[in-house]
Amino acid sequence: MNKIQTIEIPVSGMDCADCTRHVRTAIARLPGVQSVDVFLTSEKAVIRLDPDLVDLPAIREVVKNAGYSVPESAAPPQNPPLGNFTRRMMTLLAVVFGVILFIIVGGEWLGLFEQITGRVPFPVGLALVVISGWSIFRNVIRAALNRQVISHTLMTLGVIAALAVGEWATALVVVFFMRVGEYVENFTTKGARRAVKDLTAMIPQIARVERDGSEQEIPVSEVRNGDIVIVRPGEKVPVDGEVISGQATMDQSVLTGESMPVEVAAGTQVFAATIARLGSVRIRAARVGPDTTFGRVVKMVEEAEANRAEVQRFADRFSAFFLPVVAGIAALTFIIRRDPLAAAAVLVVACSCSVALATPVAVLASIGASAKRGLLIKGGKYLESLARADVLLLDKTGTLTLGKPQVTDVISLNGLDPAEILALAASAERYSEHPLAEAVRAAARERNLPLVEPQEFEALPGLGIRARIAGRRVVIGNRQLVPGAAELAAAAELEQQGKTLLYLARDGELTAVIAAADTLRPEVPAALAALRDLGIRRIELLTGDNERTARALAEKLGVDFRASLLPEDKISIVKAYQAQGHTVVMVGDGVNDAPALAQADVGIAMGAAGSDIAVEAAHIALMRDDWSLVPEVLRIARRTLRVVEMNLGFTAVYNLIGITLATLGFLPPIFAAAAQSLPDLGILANSARLLRQK
């Protein structure tokens, strides 16, 4: 029997992407742990484990030994524990003494404070260094005991080197900038978390429900499926469900990114976190809490870190050997130059955490900002793949088209008025459930045509219908059902355009031809043109429709096509392109295209709001049916990759210059300590541009 369970635990104390690697490594070493994902933005770990081999106390202990902690709950405590208070006091001491001594050391270089620094006993200076940096030193020691090297390890070695030659003032200033660096990294990480936290803040916490004959306000967590929820003007919808009474104008921009509100009434589906701008509704809850569409969006944005881009994996591998290499350079500097302060400066100036931050901060900024606009991206690796895509494969029905046929032509063969033909056909089709029958009825409704109750009605599967209207026999169907339809030359041009034809006969006489087609989404041609401009070299239509219909649509759009395909045929086509070295994007509706979406390098599902299958199958889900979002998400992907490359390039150049200057003795440890905090701010500023993209 499979006992594997998945648990989520909060993890506090993580300030940079390097921290997640240490927590992940510590937990993964436990016997019984199958897999671990650690998320910096949501400050949690998702662990698959065998509960017979490992338990929460063991996990909490290894996380603690790695220098972090597992709170009893994800919520922050109301009263900070003594340890937090002590840490804040130590930080304050480090700041105060660091600033004072920075002034003193600067004055000493100017020859003003030589007597002052000389009068401070070395043991006092040593005590100040240890007290001010104790929390940092403790984490370094814990990491060393776990055979790990963290970003503060090198700077701690620099502090030890300064103390070894009696430069306690220099060591204390280095500790001060270590504290500054901690704050900068924390600030940078919070910037990456902000988009996710903004999403989380949109989830309503209180719901008004009908229970025991009265209205009650209860926490959303206590709402059950089937409860009747009341939403009034200006309130957020707390659940996914169906409107059972009332009318409202609903702002769904939080979910779909669409600024135009929609009208909802009885029978309409509504979603959690959307806002009733005008009107009140009663809703029968169908999904609550994390099971709502918005809840799934938040969860997937939180866990998007797990799908790390290849460039992010490179950064992780780089961090693993970067610190030992820097330590080696510092050792060589000391051996060759016999200058311990130069060696200390090399250790202090190295910015390993900025390398680890370069990718996730940019990726998470893009993913969070995109989610607010109705673009759900499941991870950095899909952004990277999308940015490099060169082949686009398209489904037809429900993707390029609206997914339901509409009447396009009404041709009279005996002088009967087209409106009269539509009214007759809609009356005869009144009780038919066929999609083409609904298209005829919809066309009659649009024209406000009066309908007649059929006196007789018979559905003929695969052929059409027979009915009696006002005493006259009416037959509507394909050419096999209606006499004389096969010889009708007027229908050939309509069929050549890929339209489906209904032939109407009255009292045995062929009277009219009604053409219907699945209408192309109006924004598709412009979107495909934009994708070509963005460098997509091959666009191909894959459809299960017949060749005639597929050819008509493909020629209209200027794309290649393959028709009469089964789902497994689409998968084979995707694999064939991938085998040729192409990066393939598949756009579908997320239902019948789920296998091909999953096989593609990037699967994009259209109109995924409320659809479990679409959200699960695709790598990117567009929460509304709008083709203009496809080139938009491609632009976002390429912009994100450029920002990541800029972050990595800036960090590499900065480290190279800093280490070189320190090796040559041009960068004292004090300035090296100050310099190592700057790349994090640069990465934050560069990545923040992704939050403002339009």
Enumerate the active-site residues. 395
Q: What is each CA distance from 212 to 209, 216, 225, 226, in whole angstroms?
A: 10, 9, 16, 14
Which residues of 555-672 form beta strands (DSSP E)? 560-562, 584-588, 602-605, 620-622
Taking CA atoms, 408 is separated from 327, 443, 495, 516, 533, in Å, by: 74, 9, 12, 5, 32
Backbone angles phi, psi at 509, to 5 degrees: -105, 125
Residue with tokens 């060589």: 332
8-state DSSP, 624: S
Query: Taking a C-beta distance cutoff of 8 angstroms, is the pair 339, 665 a contact?
Result: yes
What CA–CA distance (Å, rounded) separates 457 from 465? 7
Residue 693 tokens, joined = 């993209």
- What ranges in 50-149 are assigned the alpha helix state H? 56-65, 82-109, 114-119, 122-145
Contact criterion met (CB below 8 Å) for 590 and 604: no
Pairwise CA distance, residues 27 & 21, whole Å: 10
Euclidean distance between CA atoms 679 and 467, whole angstroms = 78
- Say how far apart CA 654 and CA 350 lie, in whole Å: 9
Reported for 333-340, long-range contacts at CB under 8 A and 24+ positions apart, including other chains, are: 333/662, 333/663, 337/663, 337/665, 339/665, 340/161, 340/162, 340/164, 340/165
Q: Which of 123, 153, 155, 135 is nearest to 94 (CA)?
A: 135
In degrees, rounded to 5, the angle at the alpha carbon of residue 89 between the alpha carbons of residues 179 and 190 is 45
> What H or E segment, with its residue span, contains residue 387?
helix 380-387
Report the chain's terminal Cα–Cα distance, integer Å.
51
200 Cβ partners below 8 Å, 6+ apart?
A: 298
Give the C-alpha separation, 107 to 237, whole Å.
63
CA 175/CA 179 separation, integer angstroms: 6
Neighbours of 321 (CB within 10 A): 10
CB within 8 A of 628, min separation 6: which ones?
A: 523, 526, 527, 530
Burial group, residue 576, by CB count within 10 angstroms (0-12, 13-18, 19+): exposed
- 3-state DSSP percent of the chain in helix, strand and coil, to 5: 50, 20, 30
Give the phi and the psi of residue 417 in degrees, each rounded to 5. Answer: -65, 140
d(CA 366, CA 382): 12
8 Å CB contact between 156 and 649 = no
Contacts of 267 (CB under 8 A, 6+ apart): 242, 243
- The token duo for 555 is 């020629």
Question: Which of 48, 50, 40, 53 minimizes the C-alpha distance to 11?
Answer: 40
Distance CA 591, CA 611 (A): 9
